[in-house]
């Protein structure tokens, strides 16, 4: 599933595509639902509007117009990209056509994505957004916040940092990489993390996410940005998906264990 760096890369790509503020001519829905039902009024509400900005909240994309916001989640395999006439695909579920002749397509082979409408003033109360935690690249996510939230929590620290109610956007790939950079073992109970370890985890997560954004994200399978290009950060993974391979620092074979239903990777020598 695309994580924060991949979604942020798509956000930046969409912002570049839509910066000329072209008028939306028509929206075509190729099916009534993806993961959930798509609002039937969406084509009517967007027609004649212009996108004034593209934002990200957690792993959600928010495409603003003066009257309504298009809310989108990429799910497992979703993507937004320009699609010329004659390039239709059976996995294209929504087309946004502009007056200048361009066409934006939402493609999602596995149909875990989301397309919804967000009314003005509804962001704080929308059911998909209201329970989201701190943004990891913003000041609200700091060592004191993370330490306080982790007290008395018995779950593994890696599961805790992936809890979207605590901090958003850090999925399986970047959680493993964060714990390696911070030299903290991901199996440790969250409630036993020290203040120093929480500070290292916060700093490491920010550094990892920023590096990944600059690299266009990680393309493990079929992720592509809005420009159709793959990310390159997968070539810099230190532990993720490297079970049995030597640690790049100490040469100890990388361990793997399923924690919280997700494969977790770490170096038993470097991480304590």
Q: 49 lies in a domain?
A: yes
Active-site option among 11, 56, 57, 59: 59
Q: Please give the pLDDT value at position 194.
A: 98
Q: 132 lies in a domain?
A: no
Q: Please give the pLDDT value at position 1.
A: 73
Instruction: Residue 250: give its domain's CATH number.
Output: 1.10.8.50
Percent residues over pLDDT 90 in the chain: 89
Q: Is the pLDDT of residue 227 over 80?
A: no
Q: 80 lies in a domain?
A: yes
What's the CA gap between 203 and 78, in Å, rounded? 30
Q: 223 lies in a domain?
A: yes
What's the CA gap between 143 and 155, in Å, rounded? 18
Q: Please give the pLDDT value at position 84.
A: 87
Please check whether residues 91 and 197 belong to one and the same domain.
no
Active-site option among 128, 236, 257, 262: 262
Q: 135 lies in a domain?
A: no
Q: Please give the pLDDT value at position 219.
A: 74
Question: Which tokens is 72 given?
Answer: 């989108």
Q: Per-residue pLDDT averaged across 232-258, rounded?
A: 96
What's the CA gap between 58 and 116, in Å, rounded? 16
What's the CA gap between 88 and 271, in Å, rounded? 48
Q: 138 lies in a domain?
A: no
Q: Please give the pLDDT value at position 40.
A: 97
Please check whether residues 201 and 253 belong to one and the same domain.
yes
Q: How many CB atoms lie within 10 A of CB 10?
A: 27
What's the CA gap between 43 and 21, in Å, rounded? 18
Please check whether residues 261 and 151 belong to one and the same domain.
yes
Please check whether residues 169 and 260 belong to one and the same domain.
yes
Q: Which of 103, 118, 133 is the last residue of a domain?
A: 118
pLDDT tens, residue by residue, 22-76: 999 999 999 999 999 999 999 999 999 999 999 999 999 999 999 999 999 999 9
Please check whether residues 171 and 88 belong to one and the same domain.
no
Please check whether residues 149 and 95 belong to one and the same domain.
no
pLDDT band at 155 (very low <50, low <70, confident <90, very high): very high
Q: 131 lies in a domain?
A: no
pLDDT band at 205 (very low <50, low <70, confident <90, very high): very high
Please check whether residues 17 and 111 belong to one and the same domain.
yes
Q: Per-residue pLDDT averaged across 250-263, rounded?
A: 96
Instruction: Clarify whether 262 is annotated catalytic.
Output: yes
Please check whether residues 112 and 180 belong to one and the same domain.
no
Distance of CA 138 to the CA centre of its chain: 15
Please check whether residues 106 and 168 belong to one and the same domain.
no
Q: Per-residue pLDDT averaged across 182-190, rounded?
A: 98
Instruction: Residue 47: give its domain's CATH number.
Output: 3.20.190.10
Q: Please give the pLDDT value at position 77.
A: 92
Total number of domains constituting the chain:
2
Q: Please give the pLDDT value at position 38.
A: 97
Domain range for 232: 143-266
Q: 125 lies in a domain?
A: no
pLDDT tens, residue by residue, 98-146: 999 999 999 999 999 999 999 998 999 999 999 999 999 999 999 999 9
116-141: burial string, b at 16+ Cβ within 10 Å, e else: bbbeeeeeeebeebeebbbbbeeeeb
Mean pLDDT of the chain: 94
pTM recorded for the entire structure: 0.92
Q: Please give the pLDDT value at position 95.
A: 97
Q: Which of 74, 103, 118 is the last residue of a domain?
A: 118
Q: Please give the pLDDT value at position 222.
A: 64
Please check whether residues 105 and 152 belong to one and the same domain.
no
238-260: burial string, b at 16+ Cβ within 10 Å, e else: bbbbbeeeebeeeeeebbbeebe
């Amino acid at each position: 599933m695309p994580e924060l760096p991949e979604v942020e890369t798509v956000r930046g790509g969409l912002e570049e595509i839509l910066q000329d503020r072209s008028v939306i001519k028509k929206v075509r829905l190729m099916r009534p639902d993806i993961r959930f039902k798509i609002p039937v009024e969406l084509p009517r509400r967007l027609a004649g509007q212009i996108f004034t900005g593209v934002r990200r909240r957690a792993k959600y994309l928010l495409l603003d117009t003066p009257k309504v916001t298009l809310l989108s989640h990429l799910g497992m395999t979703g993507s937004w990209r320009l699609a010329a006439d004659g390039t239709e695909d059976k996995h294209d579920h929504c087309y946004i056509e502009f007056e200048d002749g361009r066409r934006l397509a939402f493609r999602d082979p596995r149909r875990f994505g989301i397309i919804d409408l967000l009314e003005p003033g509804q962001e704080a109360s929308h059911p998909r957004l209201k329970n989201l935690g701190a943004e990891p690249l913003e000041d609200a996510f700091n060592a004191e916040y993370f330490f306080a939230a982790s007290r008395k929590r018995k779950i593994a620290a890696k599961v805790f940092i992936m809890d979207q109610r605590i901090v958003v956007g850090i999925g399986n790939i970047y959680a493993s990489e964060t714990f390696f950079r911070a030299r903290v073992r991901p199996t440790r109970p969250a409630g036993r993390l020290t203040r120093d370890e929480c500070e290292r985890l916060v700093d490491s997560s920010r550094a990892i996410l920023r590096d990944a954004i600059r690299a266009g994200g990680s393309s493990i399978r079929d992720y592509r940005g809005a420009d159709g290009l793959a990310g390159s950060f997968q070539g810099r993974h230190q532990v993720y998906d490297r079970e049995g391979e030597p640690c790049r620092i100490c040469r100890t074979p990388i361990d793997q264990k399923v924690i919280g239903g997700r494969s977790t990777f770490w170096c038993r020598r470097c991480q304590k």
